[in-house]
Amino acid sequence: MNTHPLAGAAARLKVNIEEKSFRSSNGATIQVLRQLRFEVEENEFACILGPSGCGKTTTLRILLGLDQDYRGSVQLPGKSQARMGTVFQEPMLLPWRTVEQNVRLALPKELRGANLDALFAQLGLSNMRSFYPAELSLGLARRAAIARALAIEPDILLLDEPFVSLDEPTAQQLRHLLLFVWSERPTTALMVTHNLQEAIMLSDRIIVLSDRPAHVLGTFDIRLPRQYRNEQVKADLLRSFNEKFAGIRNLS
Amino acid sequence: MGPVATETGQTLNNSEPADGVRRWNSSLMIVLSFAVLLVAWHVAATLWPSRSFPAPLLVLQTFLSETASGDLPYHLAITLWRVAAAFFLAMIIGSVIGVLLGSHRRADQFFNPWLILFLNIPALVIIVLAYIWFGLNEAAAIGAVAVNKIPNVVVTMREGTRALDARYAEMAKVYRFGALDQLRHVLLPQLQPFIAAASRSGVSLIWKIVLVVELLGRSNGIGFQINLFFQLFDVAAILAYTLAFVAVMLFIELVVVQPLEHTSTRWRRRAA
């Protein structure tokens, strides 16, 4: 399918969710997503931004195939079965396996023997390959989770607030690391966040979601390459974002 | 990152000698505890001498002569093989049923009454019925012991399955772990404490039931011998056979089970 003339179209993430609802314990139905439609281009880094509890994680779970009880359709990039590199909100490393085992276990068969030295070095994990996850700080565990997501050479990278509950310097360091390893081998990426600064720093496009039931309020494209986004530019971007989405107070 | 590595490295180095000292202390305590028991037994047997309450030395003599004649090793080996066979049979069948019931609520609701029924059938009834239905043979003997233990394993493993963290299974699904990898790296490590608990209580229960099975329908094994010595009122021999088996089990516990457990939980220990 990759050699097909329409490969570009196939490499795109298309989300078209008509409706997704949960049944609460008292029997009421809560609608979480309604007519949620967006696309992410090949090798584009997109962020989903929205108020907490609006259904961002639910959207990601649908993309991951963990929740199939919804109406609508989702088209993942890549071959018939897209390889999905995922960083969950919690690192979700197997506590009884070392960092390296955790990464290798996720590898598809043809990559099982792959040399991971470069990846571990890029993420500063070279000395921690034989450590158990409980011996790592949260920041290091997140790095290991990122290493696992990238080691499989994914067709799409899905990140669920990977920098949440870290102190700001650590989070910032990790954002730079993520950008660095991602730009070595760009792939279609979708990150869920509620941090606007983070989204402005990392993404090519910000998809802004409404409150529940979530739908797309609008998108904010950032065409400027990341290396030119200095503090001044980011402040300008922030201002123009706020002008465009003036009605939404709780985002900034 | 550098400082983090050294920090954790130091904690590791510090924890290992402390661990060794603790283990040495605990084995010393075991020896001391048994020594006190032996002395108390010897004193009691000297104060109230009786043929039905032999002193430890007499038991030791009986043990040595029975070992020299080859009787004790033979019957001990037979019993050990039955314990091992029944144990693995019960653990494997019980674990599979337990995991299935723990992960399927409807099946659990349906089969729970059966489980309660089997939990409450006396071991003796199962043994007698097994011998009547399947004959006085090895398969009936081992099967009867296993059937006695299976419900306990099922209950423990069902609890373990209910305690599984679904997020690990989701991670394994997203990263497309193979069935074998899921079993080895996701399911079994999570069930490990429950498997350990089931095996601990399992071995002691199984060995007791194996003796009954041997007494009722086998012509070898420790149970058969104890029945023989009961008819001869030879308490020293009864104790010699019992203690020999207990010693073997203690040896297995110290040399096989504990190091195994130590290895399989080292990720938890080192984290502390």
Reported as half-sphere exposure (CB side, CA atoms, 13 A), residue A98 has a value of 10
If asked whether residues A18 and A57 sit together in one domain, one would say yes
What is the tens place of the pLDDT at every residue in B70-84? 999 999 999 999 999
pLDDT at A10: 60
Determine, yes or no, domain membership for A252. Answer: no
Contacts of A95 in chain B (CB under 8 A): 267-268, 271
DSSP lists the bridge partners of residue A23 as A29
- Give me the DSSP letters along B198-229: HHHHHHHHHHHHHHHHHHHH-SSSHHHHHHHH
Contacts of A65 in chain B (CB under 8 A): 173-174
Boundary-marking domain end, from A101, A122, A153 = A153
If asked whether residues A239 and A138 sit together in one domain, one would say no
What are the tokens at B106? 């409807």
Please report, as a single letter, which amino acid is at residue A151.
A
Contact A108, A78 (CB under 8 A): no
Q: How far is CA B41 from the centre of its chain?
A: 27
Q: Cβ contact (<8 Å) for A94 and B174? A: no
Counting one residue from chain A and one from chain B, the pairs whose CB atoms sit within 8 A come to: 63
For residues A39 and A42, give the distance between their C-alpha atoms in angstroms, rounded to a whole number: 10
For residues A203 and A179, give the distance between their C-alpha atoms in angstroms, rounded to a whole number: 10
What are the tokens at A3? 């050699």
pLDDT at B237: 93
Q: Which of B14, B267, B269 to mutate to test the interface with A (most CBs of A within 10 A)?
A: B267
Contacts of A125 in chain B (CB under 8 A): 1
Q: Region B95-111: what's the mean pLDDT?
A: 94
Burial state string for A210-228 with b = 16 or more CB within 10 A and e = fewer than 16: bebbbbbbeebebeeeeee
Placement of tokens 């949260």 in the chain: A138
pLDDT of B14 higher than 60: no
If asked whether residues A127 and A28 sit together in one domain, one would say no
Q: For chain A, what is the domain count?
A: 2
If asked whether residues A162 and A225 sit together in one domain, one would say yes
Determine, yes or no, domain membership for A16. Answer: yes
Structural domain for A120, as ranges:
93-153
Please report, as a single letter, which amino acid is at residue B66.
E
Contacts of B171 in chain A (CB under 8 A): 86, 88, 92
What is the tens place of the pLDDT at every residue in B184-198? 999 999 998 899 889
Q: Cβ contact (<8 Å) for B270 and A134? A: yes
pLDDT at A67: 87
If asked whether residues A116 and A135 sit together in one domain, one would say yes
Determine, yes or no, domain membership for A162. Answer: yes
If asked whether residues A77 and A186 sit together in one domain, one would say yes
For residues A59 and A50, give the distance between their C-alpha atoms in angstroms, rounded to a whole number: 12
Q: Cβ contact (<8 Å) for A135 and B175? A: no
What is the tens place of the pLDDT at every residue in B154-206? 999 999 999 999 999 999 999 988 899 999 999 999 998 899 889 888 888 89
Q: Cβ contact (<8 Å) for A105 and B177? A: yes
pLDDT at B17: 57
Determine, yes or no, domain membership for A2. Answer: no
For residues A183 and A178, give the distance between their C-alpha atoms in angstroms, rounded to a whole number: 8
For residues A41 and A75, give the distance between their C-alpha atoms in angstroms, rounded to a whole number: 12
**Kind and range of the H or E run holding A39:** strand A29-40
Q: Which of A106, A183, A170 is nearest to A140 (CA)?
A: A170
If asked whether residues A120 and A174 sit together in one domain, one would say no
Determine, yes or no, domain membership for A250. Answer: no
ipTM of the complex: 0.83
**Lateral strand order in the sheet of A205-209:** A84-87, A156-160, A188-193, A45-49, A205-209, A216-221
Mode of pairing for the β-strands spanning A13-23 and A71-75: antiparallel
Determine, yes or no, domain membership for A123. Answer: yes
Q: Which of B5, B185, B270 minimises the CB distance to A105?
A: B185
If asked whether residues A73 and A177 sit together in one domain, one would say yes
Contact A37, A216 (CB under 8 A): yes
Determine, yes or no, domain membership for A251. Answer: no
Mean pLDDT of chain B: 87
Query: For residue A72, what is the domain's CATH number?
Result: 3.40.50.300
Per-position pLDDT tens, chain A of length 252 = 333 334 444 678 888 888 888 888 888 888 888 888 888 888 889 999 888 878 888 888 898 888 888 888 888 887 677 888 999 988 899 999 999 999 999 998 888 888 889 889 888 889 999 999 988 888 899 999 999 999 988 888 999 988 888 888 888 888 988 888 888 888 899 999 888 888 888 889 999 888 888 888 888 888 888 877 888 888 888 888 888 887 654 544
For residues B2 and B117, give the distance between their C-alpha atoms in angstroms, rounded to a whole number: 60
Segment 88-147 of chain A within 8 Å of chain B by CB:
88, 90, 92, 94-97, 101, 105-106, 108, 124-125, 127-128, 131-132, 134-135, 137, 140
pLDDT at B270: 55
Boundary-marking domain end, from A130, A153, A176 = A153
For residues B22 and B29, give the distance between their C-alpha atoms in angstroms, rounded to a whole number: 11
Q: Region B46-65: what's the mean pLDDT?
A: 90
If asked whether residues A182 and A67 sit together in one domain, one would say yes
Q: What is the largest CA-CA distance in chain B?
A: 74
Boundary-marking domain end, from A153, A174, A196 = A153
If asked whether residues A124 and A71 sit together in one domain, one would say no
What is the tens place of the pLDDT at every residue in A131-189? 999 888 888 999 999 999 999 888 889 999 888 888 888 888 889 888 888 888 888 99
If asked whether residues A35 and A115 sit together in one domain, one would say no
If asked whether residues A79 and A188 sit together in one domain, one would say yes
What are the tokens at B232? 């001869």
pLDDT of B272 higher than 80: no
pLDDT at B154: 95
Determine, yes or no, domain membership for A169. Answer: yes
Reply yes or no: is the peptide bond before residue A213 cis, omega within 30 of 0: yes
pLDDT at B19: 66
